[in-house]
Copies of this chain bind each other. A is one copy, B any other.
C-alpha cells in the first residue's frame, strides 16, 4: 500500500476525549473515528487489523469443527419473551418497532436465535452435536461508553453456540473451545491467561474468561505463583486458616461515644484500635429485601459473591433514609447487635474467629466495643467467603501465594446447560424416543476488543507496537530525500516484498523525514526499512525492529530474504 493513496489521517496531538492508550493511539494512528459516543467508523488501517484478528478466529474455529453461520441483528421480541430475557436485559438492549408496530431488538447476543433456529430442524440424538458460530456486529447500549473499543456500543464479536445431547458432550465441546481460544490468542501474539469466572446473567454452571494482561485492564485477576490456579477476583477465593480457639476476654458490651466516626479509618484514629479488631456492617437491598454483610475492618467486601449467594437479580447499597426505615439503624453507625428483626445478616468466614470487636451501635455517634460474636449478635444466617482476595493471600488449591494482575476480558465461555432449550422447547428425541432438552454452551470473543487489548499490551511512548501476526502490514519502507535512485530502490523493494507475500507499506508521501519516522512509529509496523542516498551508495538499506528498537543493515540484493527470515523470528 502506498501511503500517498491511503486514507490514514494521523494526528500529532493527543485527542482530548480519550483516556487510555488504545483509544488515544487508534485515533492518532488514523485507525478509526467516533460517529457518536461509543460508535466508531473503522478506517482502512483499523479495519485491516480487525480483519486479521477475524481471520485467525475463523481459521481456528473452522479447524475445531465449528460451522460458520450468520444470524440476524434484528430480532423479534417473541423469542426473547419466550426465554424471559426481554425485560431482563434492561436498557442495554436497543428496542424498536417496525412499520407494523411489531417489537424488535438489536440482538446483544444470540442464544434465543440459535434455539429458535434449530428447534424445528433437530429431531434426533443422531442430529447432534453441533457448534455454530458467527462473526457479527452487535449493539449494546452501554450506560457509559468509554475507553474506545474497550467499552463501545457498536462492536464486532465472534459468538459460538454448542448443541449437545448431554453434559458429557458439553464438557467435550467446552474443552475444545477452551483449547481453541487459547490457540487464537496465542496466534494473535498476545499474552493471555484463562481464569475461572462468574457466569452472571448468562446462567449456567461453569465459565472461564480469557484475559489479555495489561496494566490498564478493567479486571483484577488472582494467579497462584505456585500452581495453575487463576480466577477473576470477582470469584477468586483464598485459603483461610481460622483460629477459632482465640481466648475471649470476658468483658461487657459497652456503648462508646464516637462522634462523627462513620468510617473504619475514623474509628481506628478515635479508638486507637487496629481495623482488624473491627467489624464493618454493610447494608444492602437485594431484590427489595434488607441484608447486612459483615466483614473484618481491614477486608473489602466482594459484592458479586454476596449477590450470587443470595441469588439476587439486583443488589444495591441501601439509601440513607432506608437505614432508619428498614434496618432500624443510622447510616455510618449500623451494626449487627439490636438490628431490626427481619434483616438478614451474612458474615464473612473470618468474622467467626473474632472476639472483643467494635461494631456500630445503630445509634448516631455511638459504637459498641467488646462485642462477642456468639453472645451479642443477632442470628447470623451464614458464614461465607465474602472478602475480596488480595495479593499475598494463600491459594485455595495449593496454599501457595496469590498475586493480582490486571487484565482485559477478550473471551468468555459458558456452560449454559438447558436454560434456553427448556424455556424455548428446543428438544431432541433420545435413543429411547424420549424428548430431552438440548444441552447448550455459549462462547464469545470480542474481536474489536481484542484489537484494543493488543494495543494496551503492546505500545510505548512513540505509538503502537503490533505483534507480527495481527500487524496491518509487516514492513514499512521510508525513502528519504527525493532522489531518483532512492525512489527507484524503494519502488523495487516494495514490489519485491509484495511479490514475496510480505505485506508492505511504502511511504511515498511528499513529507519531511521527521513526519515519516513519527508516523511509522505511531502506526507500529514491525519492521521499518529506511532508504537514503548515503547507505544506498554502498547498496545497503537501514532496518529497525519496532519492538526492540534494534537497528541493522540490509544488503540491497538480499533484503527480501533477510526480512523474511527476521519476520519469522520476531514477535
CB of A309 within 8 Å of the partner chain: no
Instruction: Indicate if the CB atoms of A5 and B99 lie closer than 8 Å.
Output: no
Partner of A74, one of B48, B76, B153: B153
CB of A67 within 8 Å of the partner chain: yes
Instruction: Indicate if the CB atoms of B113 and A74 lie closer than 8 Å.
Output: no
Instruction: Indicate if the CB atoms of A113 and B69 lie closer than 8 Å.
Output: no
Instruction: Indicate if the CB atoms of A141 and B98 lie closer than 8 Å.
Output: yes
This chain's copy number in the assembly: 2
Q: Which residues of B contact A91 (CB under 8 A)?
A: 99
Instruction: Indicate if the CB atoms of A69 and B43 lie closer than 8 Å.
Output: yes
Question: CA A69 – CA B30 in complex, angstroms?
Answer: 12
How many residues of chain A are within 8 Å of chain B by beta carbon? 52
Measured CB to CB, the closest approach of chain B to A425, in angstroms, equals 16
Instruction: Indicate if the CB atoms of A99 and B39 lie closer than 8 Å.
Output: no
Chain A interface, DSSP helix/strand/loop, else mixed = mixed
Instruction: Indicate if the CB atoms of B44 and A74 lie closer than 8 Å.
Output: no
Question: CA A91 – CA B96 in complex, angstroms?
Answer: 13
Which residue of chain B is the closest to A138 with respect to CB atoms?
B73
Instruction: Indicate if the CB atoms of A96 and B99 lie closer than 8 Å.
Output: no
Instruction: Indicate if the CB atoms of A35 and B67 lie closer than 8 Å.
Output: no
Question: CA A130 – CA B120 in complex, angstroms?
Answer: 48
Instruction: Indicate if the CB atoms of A75 and B35 lie closer than 8 Å.
Output: yes
Instruction: Indicate if the CB atoms of B67 and A113 lie closer than 8 Å.
Output: no
Which residue of chain B is the closest to A40 with respect to CB atoms?
B72
Instruction: Indicate if the CB atoms of A72 and B6 lie closer than 8 Å.
Output: no
Q: Which residues of B contact A76 (CB under 8 A)?
A: 35-36, 39
Q: Which of A124-143 contact B (CB under 8 A)?
A: 130, 132, 136-137, 139, 141, 143
The proximity string for A residues 171-204 relative to B, scoring 1 for CB distances below 8 Å and 0 otherwise, is: 0000000000000000000000000000000000
Question: CA A48 – CA B67 in complex, angstroms?
Answer: 10
Q: Which residues of B contact A65 (CB under 8 A)?
A: 5
Instruction: Report A's interface with B, CB cutoff 8 A.
Output: 5-7, 9, 33, 35-36, 39-44, 47-48, 50-51, 65, 67-76, 79, 91, 94-96, 98-99, 102, 104, 106, 113, 116-117, 120-121, 130, 132, 136-137, 139, 141, 143, 153-154
Question: Nearest 9 pairs between A and B by C-beta?
Answer: A96-B96, A9-B121, A91-B99, A44-B67, A36-B76, A42-B70, A41-B71, A39-B72, A35-B72
Known contacts A7-B67, A36-B72; 5 further A-B pairs (Cβ under 8 A): A5-B65, A7-B132, A42-B71, A51-B68, A73-B154
